[in-house]
Structure 1
């Protein structure tokens, strides 16, 4: 049995590096003697799915999982399967300088202002950038704003703090520096609005609600685009034993009810992973999205 794992470097860099290391270390403990497990560095986006399709790697970690639901629905990921998800709650939040006097993303085109947004680039790899530009087009503002781009939420937050951007759009729920940044200037959270949320939900990208108080200055629940979870993916030809070992590792340490969420993946489960989850938690109903 052999396995090669894509270890993402970009995106939520620290988390992705840690996940790559944990997968490698955990599977080496579970795998039979002589198994080859090698970790390579990627960005946690469409670079990983591309390497899966070309055979450049066997297992990849991609985030956010919601992007995969949309891409799979449109046929872009047919032929790929899931081994499970690593849970991490997140939301694609729009935060603006409160002095702009905006309430929704669509308001960014009003009053003749030309605003600058700090976010990730839609560069064909980064899935946060892909989602942001798709959502801004739906809101009708993509062509009338300026951008400063960085893959890391930390740098996007820093640019907002320094005044290089009027708005920051990223997974601010997973940005530990955001409370400090939000204290440097008056902040208002903008609603994506029903046109964006319903439009993307119809394409397979779910909405999540950021509860009041979860972010500094957030006084009411905020519906936004889901930016949760790291999906662990593979091809159908992945060795069944390796698929099962990966599923067992992902479920390890979880209560059975929580392990059911690990198996609730954005793509169909690999048969080896599906059997492993069924064996581990026979009493818990499992399904893919």
Structure 2
């Protein structure tokens, strides 16, 4: 990347992204344009801010959750401007001393298990996915105790939890966490992965070695990408400029990833990506 937003392989601070986004757009605008960008918890609080008019542009993650909610009809009236690519996976890690081999095993040891993760509170899309996946695995409500925290790995490291479910690729201290307290990575199981895939939430294979002490490939739930959303009535010129900014500094092969959005593109954004694709073809033919 030579410009625009940094495509981070690790933890991405949504507020930092919002600030970079805002600063970059204002540098590109040739006249004063009033708009508000929001990046709070990166969940349904952001989509709500669009519906209420509190914000014009919002950053939401993970993209797969938005794709599912869009199919449910919950996001009618919203469209996408692009995505900020970031690799991520929803992974289950347990204290290596526990007699657990799969996520389904949690139900058989409920009396001794506390799980650290995000809450299914109507805001967190990660929490929504976690609890949905646990139910599919046969770990129903009340089967285990939960501790909720924005950084659940810290709860695991401190001993407050025996199992942690989150995206370790978004946690800069994950290597230190698992060094201090060795883990066993638990597969979600075919029932969960297939159930999510039927709703267009595809699995993501975490390769051996991509996480500390991961000795074999681990099928996980995809937790990638930050989607940039807006309402359908966003000014077309601003939408076009936003899309061009999201793709700014991308190599030609990266532009397509920015435009692969979980919701349909705003017409202004679609126009911008089409222009960029045409320019790539034109330059390549010289």
TM-score, normalization: structure 2? 0.91
Alignment match, 1:145: 144
SS in 2 for 1:179: helix
Q: Among residues 170, 182, 190, which one is paired with 2:166 in the alignment? A: 170
Q: Among residues 33, 36, 59, which one is paired with 1:35 in the alignment? A: 33
Does residue 268 of the first structure (1) align with residue 267 of the second (2)? no
Q: Among residues 168, 178, 182, which one is paired with 1:182 in the alignment? A: 178
* Mapped partners of 1:26, 1:68: distance in 2: 25
Alignment match, 2:112: 114
* Mapped partners of 1:267, 1:39: distance in 2: 18
Tell me the number of residue pairs that the alignment of Structure 1 and Structure 2 aligns: 271
SS in 2 for 1:67: helix
Gaps of 5+ in 1: 1-11
Residue range with higher mean Cα deviation, 36-45 or 72-81 = 36-45
* Mapped partners of 2:117, 2:86: distance in 1: 20
Distance 1:13 1:111, change over 3 A: closer
Gaps of 5+ in 2: 1-9, 282-286
Q: How does 1:71-110 map to 2 (within 5 A)?
A: 71-110=69-108
Alignment match, 1:248: 244
Residue 253 of structure 1: how far off its partner (Å): 0.4
The answer on whether the counterparts of 1:28 and 1:37 sit within 8 Å (CA) in structure 2 is: no
Distance 1:225 1:141, change over 3 A: same
Residue 53 of structure 1: how far off its partner (Å): 1.5
- Aligned CA RMSD, in angstroms, stands at 1.7
The answer on whether the counterparts of 1:257 and 1:284 sit within 8 Å (CA) in structure 2 is: no
Distance 1:49 1:94, change over 3 A: same
Distance 1:207 1:55, change over 3 A: same
Residue range with higher mean Cα deviation, 104-113 or 93-102 = 104-113
1:12-63 Cα deviation digits (max 9, x unpaired): 9852112101110111011122223444562211011112112221111001
The answer on whether the counterparts of 2:118 and 2:127 sit within 8 Å (CA) in structure 1 is: yes
* Mapped partners of 1:53, 1:142: distance in 2: 32
1:68-91 Cα deviation digits (max 9, x unpaired): 011011111122100000011000
1:214-258 Cα deviation digits (max 9, x unpaired): 111100111101001100001111100000000000000001111
